[in-house]
Amino acid sequence: MSEWSVAEPQKLTFDTEVRELRVRVVNGTVNIVGTDEGPARLEVSEIEGPPLLVTERRGTLTVAYEDLPWKGFLKWLDRKGWNRSAVVTLAVPTGTRVEVGVVGAGAVVSGIRGQATIKGVTGDTTLVGVSGPVQADTVSGNLEAQAVTGTLRFKSVSGDLTVVEGSGPSVRADSVSGSMMVDLDPEGPTEVSLASVSGEIAVRLPHPADAEVEANTASGTISNAFDGLRVHGQWGAHKITGRLGAGTGKLRATTVSGSIALLRRPPRDEESAPWEAETPRDTDTGAGTVPAPADGSTDKKVL
């Protein structure tokens, strides 16, 4: 086993093959890039507070604080221990299995084909071009996934989920108050299951779509851009059901008080600007807002 204590900006290169990466930081930034060129590399460009302990053992590279264990990570609420910061950049083989834990730090993971496990207390995470399975759990941290082609699992108390051009086989998300905005562009059938207590849910499906759909809210509003779906309920609880295309995929969305919007992507040969998920549109009922489609279409049924 090789071990380093990093108390100041430093660069390290690892001659052994890295198959698993574990990173745990408080405040600052973590950048992880998958690459097939050269050995694994680490750069700590900024660091304040206690040193980071870097260890390499039998193909597992760990960059973490000694007093910040992975087990029980989301319950690490020692505020005195938050007085630290580091900016860490790692380049590892694309097939590396990645575990990232952030407390107040931002994390970006790109170009990874191995399994990615994310835990965040308050830090936000961005995934770009990740093709392996993803499991993300946060307290209030947000997750943005761009062009992710593997399975995606997300669980949070109040963190938001944003998926842009998602083409993986499945997306499952659970949140208490976080919003979910999922833009799908799959090559084949996709299973999507989204559940929130009070957060808003917006799903943009390709046109033509191919899915069995069931979406319901107890007291929120519903917006539907597909003529082939049936909307049930005029007052109180609302539900959307039906089949789009052959119905080989599945879409399930459930909220208690949040709104639900089913939007339609333009045909691929007509696509231009990416979906601007942050742009809300007031519904007629005044019970919440839902995102508007980027193509400006208004053929939506709102209840």
Among residues 76, 105, 134, the one where a domain terminates is 105
Residues 75 and 158 in one domain: no
pTM for this prediction: 0.85
Mean pLDDT value across residues 237-258 = 94
Residues 72 and 148 in one domain: no
The tally of CA atoms less than 13 A away on the side-chain side of residue 17 is 6
pLDDT at 77: 57
Residues 160 and 99 in one domain: no
Helix (H, G, I), strand (E, B) or coil at 55: strand
pLDDT at 270: 57
- Confidence band for 284, pLDDT divided at 50, 70 and 90: very low
Residues 184 and 276 in one domain: yes
Strands of 207-298, DSSP E: 211-217, 222-224, 230-232, 238-244, 249-255, 260-264, 280-282, 289-291
Q: CB within 8 A of 193, min separation 6: which ones?
A: 170, 171, 172, 173, 250, 252, 253
Q: Residue 54: beta bridge partners?
A: 4, 63
Q: pLDDT tens-digit profile of 39-90?
A: 999 999 999 999 999 999 999 999 999 888 887 777 665 666 678 999 999 9
pLDDT at 131: 96
Residue 290 in this model has a pLDDT that exceeds 80: no
Residue 248 lies in a domain: yes
Domain coverage including residue 53: 1-105
- Confidence band for 294, pLDDT divided at 50, 70 and 90: very low
Residues 177 and 288 in one domain: yes
Residues 25 and 75 in one domain: yes
Q: Could you give the CA distance from residue 32 to residue 127 in angstroms, rounded to a whole number?
A: 10
Contact 242, 249 (CB under 8 A): no
Among residues 53, 87, 105, the one where a domain terminates is 105
Among residues 58, 84, 105, the one where a domain terminates is 105
Residue 134 lies in a domain: no
Residues 178 and 279 in one domain: yes
Q: pLDDT tens-digit profile of 103-154?
A: 999 999 999 999 999 999 888 999 999 999 999 999 999 999 999 999 999 9
Contact 126, 146 (CB under 8 A): yes
